[in-house]
Amino acid sequence: MFQSVIVFMRGPMLCPRIRRRTGGPAGRTAAPTAACRGPAHSAAWKDPSRSFADADGGPMADSREHVLTGTRCSVTAREWPLDRPRYVALLAHGHGEHIGRYAYVADVLRGHGAAVFGPDHMGHGRSAGERVLIEDVEDVVTDLRAVDALARAAHPGAPVVLVGHSMGGLVAARFAQRYGDSLAGLVLSAPVVGGPEPLRRLLALDPLPDVPIDPSALSRDPSVGRDYARDPLVWHGPFKRPTLEAFTHALETVAGHGDVGALPLLWMHGDDDRVVPLSATRAGIEDLRGTEWTERLYAGARHELFNETNKDAVLGDVTAFVDRVLPARPSQTEA
């Protein structure tokens, strides 16, 4: 019973128990960075200073780093640039992971005409803060808005499509409620939305149970779980009580703030998702969706659709959705 409760809310967390091994990246866990500052600090673009490195320390081609002064701590964002893009794709990753895991998604979307931006959320990846500590999801939404502002400054007038996965789907849903008028479309992949009751039952336990998740729950591709386990920027430790409390409050907030109105929504989910089960999400989507929405369910697919064996079909559905919701490209005679 406890495992079913914990699996409902856990993002792509491979193994909650910290396992340290000697030698190589597999022996490292995500290192803590600078402590978060107080909430008085507003999110703002600070410095587009460096190129990103990948999880093994080498350069990540065709991307660059921006450091933002976030709501509570410095937030690192990644940009996959494109000159004169048709649109901007804004990405929000899941719990315990980081935006560098979305390089393939960014590559596909750039090929479709997007400049791609996304942060490591506070306490995740290269961003500052106690690891995976989120005390208020509204702060994460505000930080994402700062990355959105950075993208809009770089590409004035380009429409923005927001893509959120798992916990990032919860962040994206709340972003759409706060700033939906500024978006051209919303894509939610296995989003954490719906009733908070499983979390309340989990939070009633003391101590919180530490139940590992089978790596095969992420994808039918076994290399996904192996790469995740070796990634030093991924958190392999337990959930933190304040973070679960923040998720509970965010679910209540999303449920209480109505649907997204006329904003086009694409909801994507695998029917074998054991991390955020389809049945738990559907009720939340029914409350969130507005007048224009599309549902895509994938037989046999697990939690990380963008890393699944059918990821090209999944991303093809994303780009087809974008084509439907964006203004048509000008013809050669109009250009």
**Tens-binned pLDDT, residue by residue, of the chain (335 aa):** 223 334 444 443 322 222 222 233 333 334 434 445 443 333 443 333 333 344 444 435 589 999 999 999 999 999 999 999 999 999 999 999 999 999 999 999 999 999 999 999 999 999 999 999 999 999 999 999 999 999 999 999 999 999 999 999 999 999 999 999 999 999 999 999 999 999 999 999 999 988 756 678 999 999 999 999 999 999 988 889 999 999 999 999 999 999 999 999 999 999 999 999 999 899 999 999 999 999 999 999 999 999 999 999 999 999 999 999 998 665 444 44
Active site (annotated) includes residue 303: yes
Pairing state between β 74-80 and 87-92: unpaired
CA 85 from chain centre, in angstroms, equals 22
Catalytic residue among 93, 98, 155, 303: 303
Catalytic residue among 166, 189, 236, 269: 166
Alpha-carbon distance of 215 to 277, in angstroms, equals 16
Alpha-carbon distance of 169 to 188, in angstroms, equals 5
Active site (annotated) includes residue 166: yes
Tokens 């990753």: give the residue. 93
Cβ-Cβ contacts under 8 Å for 61 (sequence gap 6 or more): none
Closest to 9 measured CA to CA, from 191, 163, 132, 139: 191
Catalytic residue among 120, 148, 231, 273: 273
Task: Name the superfamily (CATH) of residues 2-12+52-325.
Answer: Alpha/Beta hydrolase fold, catalytic domain (3.40.50.1820)
Cβ pair 202, 9 in contact under 8 A: yes
Alpha-carbon distance of 82 to 31, in angstroms, equals 31
Instruction: Name the strand (E) or helix (H) holding 268.
Output: strand 265-270
Confidence at residue 4, expressed as pLDDT on a 0 to 100 scale: 36
Confidence at residue 329, expressed as pLDDT on a 0 to 100 scale: 62
Cβ-Cβ contacts under 8 Å for 103 (sequence gap 6 or more): 54, 60, 63, 80
Cβ-Cβ contacts under 8 Å for 206 (sequence gap 6 or more): none
> Distance between the two ends of the chain, CA-based, in angstroms?
60
